[in-house]
Amino acid sequence: MRIVAMVSLWLLPAWVWAVQLPPGFSLQTVSDRVPDARQMAWGAQGTLFVGSRKQGKVYALRDLDGDGHYETRDIIAKGLFMPSGIAFRDGALYVAAVNRILRFDDIEANLMDPTYEVAFDGLPSDSHHGWKFIRFDSSGRLIVPVGAPCNVCNRGRPYASLLALHLQKGHYEVLATGVRNSVGFDFHPRTGELFFSDNGRDHLGDDSPPDEINRLSTAGADFGFPFVHGNSVLDPQFRTSEDRLRAVQPPWFELQAHVAPLGVHFYRGTQFPAPYRQALFIAEHGSWNRSSKVGYRVTMLREDEQGAPQYQVVIDGWLDGEQPLARPVAFLEHPDGSLLISDDYNGAVYKLTYTDSPAHADR
């Protein structure tokens, strides 16, 4: 059973959109003043930082009166090169600006007059698939994807790979290759394995190749791009040997082609019911060149008793025919156990909460 919840879209008041949520869940807007909202990060003092892609800005949001809405907004940087990815560590905000990683030290004490230093330089400067999602691992390395600068091509490393940056030493390791365009990843809360999304190539039809959710169990694994997509789709532009096929790491789960998975997140809280705990949430940003649009929703994967991933829709209704109403990008757990979701289409951040009552959505 799914609950249909009605809410007026604040940016386009004439629209009324039907949000479908599982029973017991509610959805509310915590900010609608974050144009092109992408990755989010918490500061140590409760500041909500949000990156952007097209705007070139990084935002700091604060809930000063404690009502759950982030009315105060500071623009701590502007004019940056697609600063989509951000991460917070030891009082500093790290920003991925395509070819550079910037560090804003002691940022929460300097929101009105922030300055930055270049923490890492020398990444490729291609804008095509150049925007990034970043996160520190448990050893302090900054994990950074470098997308392929094309629809399909073979440009060699560090393109189409996942990197682990050693910021203090100024070098990186290659964690995975054959990754066309990953804009979201997370570490499994029990095993520590890295799970990441990957967007499949375009112009092979409406239903091919699949988008992917991948699991990195062995450093240096090859996930196939540009030679093979999904489990078995061979690229028509490249010859692929049997040896290469055998060496490719298959996806953990194949998603529908063109749903455009961006952020992924293992839910670690306890507010949501047991079936959602340690499940992998997926932001399906939505198709742009399919004859009929797909995606524009939040889904999740959870393992059954045999360890096989089971697919479930969590939030639906953000596609009205062929008209998008919202485009989810990334997730961030709230300290109260709810889940924040950024939306670059409306410049908003939503909060998914389990209320143990019939689902509803409101501002």
**Mean pLDDT in the chain?**
92
Residue 91 vs residues 109, 117, 187: alpha-carbon distances, Å: 9, 14, 22
pLDDT in tens, 300-345: 999 999 989 999 999 999 999 999 999 999 999 999 999 999 999 9
pLDDT in tens, 175-203: 999 999 999 999 999 999 999 999 999 99
Q: What gap in Å lies between CA 233 and CA 297, rounded to an integer?
A: 25
Share of the chain above pLDDT 90, in %: 87
Give 239's pLDDT tier (boundaries 50, 70, 90).
confident
pLDDT at position 119 over 70:
yes
Nearest to 341 by CA among 293, 283, 299, 278: 283
87 DSSP β-pair partners: 94
Q: What gap in Å lies between CA 231 and CA 251, rounded to an integer?
A: 7
pLDDT at position 170 over 60:
yes
Give 94's pLDDT tier (boundaries 50, 70, 90).
very high
Task: Output the pLDDT for position 215.
Answer: 98
Nearby residues of 73 by Cβ (< 8 Å), 6 or more positions away: 31, 33, 34, 59, 60, 61, 62
Higher pLDDT, 141 or 289: 141
pLDDT at position 360 over 70:
no
Average pLDDT over residues 50-57: 96
Q: What gap in Å lies between CA 292 and CA 110, rounded to an integer?
A: 47
Q: Among 52-66, 209-223, 347-361, name the one with the lowest average pLDDT.
A: 347-361
Q: What gap in Å lies between CA 90 and CA 353, rounded to an integer?
A: 29
Contact predicate 181/129, CB 8 Å: yes
Nearest to 193 by CA among 302, 266, 122: 266
Task: Output the pLDDT for position 245.
Answer: 82
Task: Output the pLDDT for position 363.
Answer: 44
Share of the chain above pLDDT 70, in %: 93
Phi/psi zone of residue 329: left (φ > 0), alpha (ψ -120 to 50 degrees), beta? alpha
DSSP characters over 166-211: ETTTTEEEEEEE--S----EEE-TTT--EEEEEPPPSSS-TT-SPE
Average pLDDT over residues 263-267: 98
pLDDT at position 207 over 90:
yes
Q: What gap in Å lies between CA 267 and CA 108, rounded to an integer?
A: 26
pLDDT at position 9 over 90:
no
Nearest to 24 by CA among 297, 316, 271: 271
Q: Among 43-52, 238-247, 289-298, 329-338, name the one with the lowest average pLDDT.
A: 238-247
Residue 124 vs residues 48, 54, 119, 282: alpha-carbon distances, Å: 28, 18, 15, 27
CB atoms within 10 A of CB 320: 13
pLDDT at position 6 over 90:
no
Average pLDDT over residues 262-272: 98
pLDDT at position 40 over 70:
yes
Average pLDDT over residues 269-284: 97
pLDDT in tens, 57-83: 999 999 988 888 998 999 999 999 999
Task: Output the pLDDT for position 219.
Answer: 94
Task: Output the pLDDT for position 357.
Answer: 54
Give 85's pLDDT tier (boundaries 50, 70, 90).
very high
Task: Output the pLDDT for position 361.
Answer: 52
